[in-house]
Amino acid sequence: MREEYDFSKGIKNPYVKKTKKQVTINIDADVIDFFKKQAADSGIPYQTLINLYLTDCMKQNKSLTVKWE
């Protein structure tokens, strides 16, 4: 057995479309409840639904309009 192996020329995993990054984010409880209800209705995990929604916003280049009062 070798002491070191060179994996730099290896192939990428064909089953991975994109890598995901774990983050910590504070989301209001009612927003989480909303997505959990959607998850129960659709059979898709709520974190996946949130990611799908944010991905859709990104692809459509949506901008937020926020007014602080």
Tens place of pLDDT per residue across the chain (69 aa): 888 888 888 877 777 777 888 999 999 999 999 999 999 999 999 999 999 999 999 999 999 898 988
SS (H, E, C) the chain: CCCCCCCCCCCCCCCCCCCCCCCCCCCCHHHHHHHHHHHHHHCCCHHHHHHHHHHHHHHCCCCCCCCCC
User: pTM of the prediction?
Assistant: 0.69
**37, 20, 64, 24 alpha-carbon torsion, rounded to 10°:** 70
Handedness of CA 36, 40, 41, 45 (dihedral sign): positive
